[in-house]
Amino acid sequence: MGSIIEDIEAEVQKGAVQEFLSALPEKALNLGVRILLAAVFFLIGGKLIKLVRRIIRKSMERAGAELGVTQFVDSFVKASLYTVLVMGLAASFGLDAASVVAVLGSAGVAIGLAIQGSLSNLAGGVLILALKPFRVGDYILESYSNKEGTVTEIQIFYTKLLTPDNQTVILPNGNLANNSLVNITAQEVRRMDITVGISYDADLKKAKEVLQRTLEEDVGVLKDRDMLVFVSELASSSVVLGVRCWFRQEDFWKGKWRVTENCKLSLDENGIEIAYNQLDVHVDGKVQGLMQKKDLPSCEEMT
Q: Give the pLDDT score at 257.
A: 96
Mean pLDDT for all residues in the chain: 80
Please say whether the beta carbons of 151 and 200 come within 8 A. no
User: How many helices, marked H, and strands, marked E, lie in the chain?
Assistant: 10, 8
Task: Report phi then psi at 237, rounded to 5.
Answer: -120, 5
For 166: left if phi > 0, alpha if psi spans -120 to 50, otherwise beta; the answer is: left
Q: What is the CA radius of gyration of the chain?
A: 38
Please say whether the beta carbons of 140 and 183 come within 8 A. yes
Q: Give the pLDDT score at 49.
A: 86
Over the stretch 93-129, which tens digit does the pLDDT of each residue have?
666 656 656 655 655 555 555 556 678 888 888 888 8
Over the stretch 241-286, which tens digit does the pLDDT of each residue have?
999 999 999 999 999 999 999 999 999 999 999 887 666 666 665 5
Indicate the domain borders of the chain: 2-65+76-106, 121-183, 189-269
Distances in Å between the Cα of 36 and the Cα atoms of 140, 226, 283 are: 48, 71, 95
- 3 pLDDT above the threshold of 90: no
- 182 pLDDT above the threshold of 80: yes
Q: Quick one: DSSP state of residue 159?
A: E
Same fold, 121-183 and 189-269: no
Dump the DSSP string for 65-102: --HHHHHHHHHHHHHHHHHHHHHHHHHHTT--HHHHHH
Type of residue at 259: V
C-beta contacts of 79-85 below 8 A and 24+ residues apart: 79/156, 81/45, 81/49, 81/52, 81/53, 82/46, 82/49, 85/42, 85/45, 85/46, 85/49
**Residue 250 host element (H or E):** none
C-beta contacts of 221-230 below 8 A and 24+ residues apart: 221/245, 221/246, 221/247, 221/255, 221/259, 222/189, 222/246, 222/247, 222/248, 225/189
Going by pLDDT thresholds of 50, 70 and 90, the confidence category of residue 47 is confident
Mean pLDDT calculated for residue range 37-58: 84
Angle CA 26–31–32, to nearest 5: 95
Level-2 CATH architecture, domain 189-269: 2-Layer Sandwich (3.30)
Length of the chain: 303
**Residue 172 host element (H or E):** strand 168-172
Q: Give the pLDDT score at 114.
A: 56
- Sign (positive or negative) of CA dihedral 286, 290, 293, 296: negative
**Residue 232 host element (H or E):** strand 228-234
CA distance 253 to 258: 8
Q: Give the pLDDT score at 79.
A: 82
Question: Which CATH number applies to 121-183?
Answer: 2.30.30.60
Distances in Å between the Cα of 133 and the Cα atoms of 141, 173, 177, 230, 232 are: 12, 12, 9, 34, 34
